[in-house]
């Protein structure tokens, strides 16, 4: 390798080490929280199986507004309804004045009887906030999302620099990439585990970081949308405003779910399995509805409607089947991020990769400490080498002098 190549690799090694030391703890925290959420849906379904189903009846189910009225609880922000007559209705509440959100409820769709509060919901919500925003106040509007984004960028730098440092000089050495040498000990074992296992999980970490940046930086999200989505045609969809009173002031009237729900049933018929109806956060009258088809296996594979709750008019309809490939990638970013796009084997692989992050942090720190321990001996090595060179030079000079004396003696004998 040329001297320039050695210098480049030395710089990359320093960058890799510094980034790893600075971000080791933070990346381990993000990875472990992601591990916990890998099978969140399956865990919650198992924990709450007893309150998610009801006995189907011959009487028709209540309309959403009637369910909310009979519930007599806090301010409802969303309801999840299903086409399955044995599925319970899930009700979610708006945040209170202190910013806290009450736990959601499962209720009987036929009489609005409260079946219970889902177990594990608050725990996973806290883990999700820790994973995305590090529990920093402000959540998505605070500094937490930028910090996790910087950590993701640092991980990309470490992945690229680590790949360059590990690139084989000969094609035959590629076999050494995929099998750690467990027969080693100490520094050799740490290096083998760090490098070989890092090679295995590098593609998964790249997918995680490239999709995770979507949730951290608006400039990154705008760039992905520009790159993958089709140009939007037509005018922007406007949010219908609340009607004005005679004096010109806007009247804030309560809106319900019924008219939007009836419109969705008319539009979709029996093609959907469940639908999430969310009230507008502001004074608008448009309800957002996410609808999942009966053949949908992913949470992100859904249709999305916006329906005016007052008139029942469909403001917009975005069907998953009509999206381009790039738009489907954008829609599925969350499932790509956690490996669910590949089914449960993908989720398992991504979970194992995330679990290995602390191993890289530990072995990386041990390698750094062992290098610092070896540094004094390396600094003494050049001195001993120079001393050996000087001793060799003295031996050569002595041999030369001896040879000169022998030549002189032979010359005198000849004379």
CB atoms within 10 A of CB 307: 26
Beta strands in 284-368 (DSSP E): 286-293, 303-308, 314-318
- Give dist(CA 88, CA 369) in Å, integer: 57
Please check the confidence at residue 257 and state whether its pLDDT lies above 80.
Answer: yes
- Within 13 Å, how many C-alpha atoms sit on residue 57's CB side? 10
**15-37 mean pLDDT:** 95
pLDDT tens for residues 181-204? 888 888 889 998 999 999 999 999
Torsion sign, CA atoms 238, 320, 275, 125 = negative
Please check the confidence at residue 42 and state whether its pLDDT lies above 50.
Answer: yes
Among 104, 83, 81, 82, smallest CA distance to 93 is for 104
CA quadruple 395, 400, 401, 403: dihedral, nearest 10: 120
pLDDT tens for residues 363-402? 999 999 988 887 665 554 444 444 444 444 444 444 444 4
CB atoms within 10 A of CB 399: 10
Which pLDDT score, from 0 to 100, does residue 166 have?
84
DSSP states along 267-301: HHTT-EEEEEEE--SSS--EEEEEEEETT--STT-
Domain 231-323 has CATH 3.30.70: no
Which pLDDT score, from 0 to 100, does residue 296 have?
85
- Give dist(CA 266, CA 263) in Å, integer: 5
Token pair for 112: 């609005």
Highest mean pLDDT among 7-16, 330-339, 373-382: 330-339
Which of 223-237, 267-281, 293-307, 328-342 has the lowest average pLDDT? Answer: 223-237
Question: Contact 277/259 with Cβ under 8 angstroms?
Answer: no
CA quadruple 17, 22, 26, 28: dihedral, nearest 10: 20
pLDDT tens for residues 87-139? 999 999 988 777 678 899 999 999 999 999 999 999 999 999 999 999 998 88
């Amino acid at each position: 390798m040329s001297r320039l190549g050695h210098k480049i690799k030395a710089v990359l090694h320093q960058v890799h080490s510094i980034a790893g030391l600075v971000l080791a703890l933070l990346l381990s925290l993000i990875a472990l929280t992601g591990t916990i959420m890998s099978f969140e849906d399956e865990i919650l379904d198992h924990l709450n199986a007893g309150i998610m189903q009801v006995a189907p009846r011959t009487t028709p189910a209540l309309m959403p507004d009637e369910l909310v009225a009979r519930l007599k609880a806090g301010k409802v922000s969303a309801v999840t309804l299903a086409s399955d007559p044995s599925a319970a209705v899930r009700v979610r509440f708006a945040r209170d004045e202190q910013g806290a959100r009450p736990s959601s409820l499962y209720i009987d769709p036929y009489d609005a009887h409260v079946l219970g509060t889902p177990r594990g919901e608050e725990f996973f919500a806290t883990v999700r906030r820790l994973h995305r925003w590090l529990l920093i106040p402000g959540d998505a509007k605070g500094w937490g999302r930028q910090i996790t984004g910087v950590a993701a960028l640092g991980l990309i730098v470490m992945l690229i620099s680590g790949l360059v440092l590990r690139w084989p000089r000969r094609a035959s050495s590629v076999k050494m990439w995929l099998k750690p040498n467990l027969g080693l000990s100490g520094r050799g074992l740490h290096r083998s585990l760090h490098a070989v296992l890092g090679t295995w999980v590098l593609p998964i970490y790249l997918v995680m970081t490239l999709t995770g940046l979507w949730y951290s930086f608006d400039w990154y999200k705008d760039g992905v949308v520009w790159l993958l989505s089709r140009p939007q045609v037509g005018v922007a969809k406007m949010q219908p405003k609340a009607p004005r009173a005679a004096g010109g002031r806007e009247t804030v009237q309560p809106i319900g779910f019924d008219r939007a729900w009836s419109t969705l049933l008319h539009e979709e018929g029996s093609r959907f399995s469940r639908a999430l109806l969310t009230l507008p956060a502001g004074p608008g009258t448009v309800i957002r509805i996410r609808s999942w088809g009966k053949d949908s296996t992913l949470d992100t594979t859904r249709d999305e409607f916006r329906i005016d709750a007052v008139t029942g008019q469909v403001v917009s309809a975005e069907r998953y089947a009509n999206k381009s490939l790039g738009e489907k990638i954008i829609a599925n970013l969350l499932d790509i991020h956690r490996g669910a796009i590949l089914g449960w084997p993908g989720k398992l692989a991504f979970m194992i990769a995330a679990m290995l992050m602390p191993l890289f942090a530990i072995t990386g720190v041990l390698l750094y400490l062992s290098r610092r321990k070896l540094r004094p001996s390396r600094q003494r090595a050049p001195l001993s080498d120079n001393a050996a060179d000087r001793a060799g030079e003295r031996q050569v000079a002595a041999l030369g002098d001896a040879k000169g004396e022998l030549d002189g003696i032979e010359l005198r004998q000849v004379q």
